[in-house]
Each structure stands twice: as structure tokens, then as C-alpha cells.
Chains A and B, each alone.
Chain A
């Protein structure tokens, strides 16, 4: 798809439709890749890693990406992680920013396929879907292992 076609396509994400996903190692890129494979809507997310960056550098990277993309939601992987603390520090200066921590694939899929509601509603729905998806499944016991 050319850039002109992409801009004209109402399904293509831009600005506040997009969200940043940031976490340890390659988790963000992996999650976004999976969203794209499942829904074709990987472009709704900007994946970032904390890499070998210090706290101030992570915060600066987030600030730069928020400004560059117009995103107003940040998904982070771990409540006690450096990415989450950096994102939460930005809440002090950005009243329209939302941070969602503990991200997983079902949460991102929900956000990627959300309806017309506002971002706060979409973020809450992502949390509900992501939380509900975690469960323990047990066998029926009818087949015995060797």
C-alpha cells in the first residue's frame, strides 16, 4: 500500500488511535507482531524496549514517541518495571495520558479492535479482557500419561 493509499484508508491507524507498548527485552515487538498476525492492525501500536537505557533515557524516549505519534495510551509489561515507572512519571505532565500496566496479548487485541468509544473506555476494556484471559486449565483425567 502506498503512503497516499494508507492515509486515505479509514482502517489505517494514526494519531490518538495508536498506542505505545513498552517493556523488557523484545516483548513489545513480539506482542505487536502477534496483534498484526491475528488482526492486521499491528500499526495501531508503537513497540519500544527499555534496552540498555537508564531511567531518564527511557522517559525521554517515551516523551519523544508520544509527541511524534500523538499516542495517548502507553501499555507497559510489569507494574514494578522501569518502563512502567517512566510512563507513570509522564502522567504528572500530561493530563490526557493513560498508562495500562501488566499488558498481555488479549488486552492488546481488545484495544486494537475497539469500537468508537473514548480512550479511557478502551483502556478499561483492554484491562478487563486481558485479566479475564488468564486462567488455569486442568485436564479431565481420562487419559493417563506414561
Chain B
């Protein structure tokens, strides 16, 4: 499988993804699954301008990503797939049940969310959504950078991580 990381990160492409994960994994491409970004040439150009030229970017809506997932998986280069929120990842795994692991990389502070880790804040509804993902058999862990220990969802939500 060429996609090494299925990551929920509300910053989408940023330093941790491009450098923190991108360099050790020798990532050749990043897939951004986001309906809004997929519809905005300006946003896509912004991201293309920021990443190193050897890193290819693909932008896709959820439906488009589900159709193209097998193609990306056959790519010889390691890749990272990003969604900006839990709901987008949920919609993707419903259409692509072969996704077996989900990384929580960054869900930052917003009104109504409670801190679970310094980079993970969740509403009770988002916690329910994550439990629903796990109940599908998906291995959900929180890990911002490769050197951190992947924290299982149960530990994250039970609060024993802090």
C-alpha cells in the first residue's frame, strides 16, 4: 500500500506533514481530501506554492477520493492522505472500507471542544464519531509527529493520556 498515513489534521498541509512525516517517510505525494479545497483553484495553488517541488499534490472531493484511492495505493511512492476533520474521514471510510488505520494529527481548539492532548480538542459529538470509526474495526490513534508514541483512541478518550 503506497498510502502510509491516513491523517485527520485541521491544518491540512503544514510543517508537521511536509517535513515531520514527509521526510522520514520519503513521501512523494500528498492527497488532500476536502470538498472546499477541491473546488478552489486558489487554495490549491497556495498549497502547491508552499510544498517542495518534488512532492506531488492531489486534491479531491470525498466522492472523487473514494474512486481514485486504489490508483494512489498502486503508486510506487509513499503517500499521505489528509482530511481536515473527522466527518470528512468518516464519509471517506464509508465509501472506502478498506481504510484500516486513521491517524489523529491535529484537531485544534475551538469553542465547545475540550482538550484531550495539546493538539487534540474534541466535542462530545466528535468523540462519538471517533468511537464509531473504531467500532468499524479501524485502528484510530493520535500521533502528531513520527517520534511520538501512537496513542490508542481508548487511552485518548479515557483521559489517561494526560
Contact = CB atoms under 8 A, between A and B. Distances in A.
A55 B11 contact: yes
Contact of B50 (A55, A84, A92): A84
Contacts, number: 54
Interface in B13-63: 13-15, 17-19, 42, 46-47, 49-52
A interface, how many residues as a size bin?
10 to 19
Given A84-B50, A85-B47, A92-B42, A54 B10 contact: yes
> Chain B contact residues (Cβ within 8 angstroms of A): what range?
20 to 34
Contacts of B49: 79, 88
B108 A52 contact: yes
Central interface residue in A53, A80, A84, by most chain B CB within 10 Å: A80
Nearest to A53: B108
Contacts of A79: 49-51
Contacts of A53: 108-109
A80 B109 contact: no
A89 B107 CA distance: 20
B83 to A, nearest CB: 13
Given A55-B10, A88-B46, A88-B49, A82 B109 contact: no
Interface of B: 10-15, 17-19, 42, 46-47, 49-52, 106-110, 118-119, 121
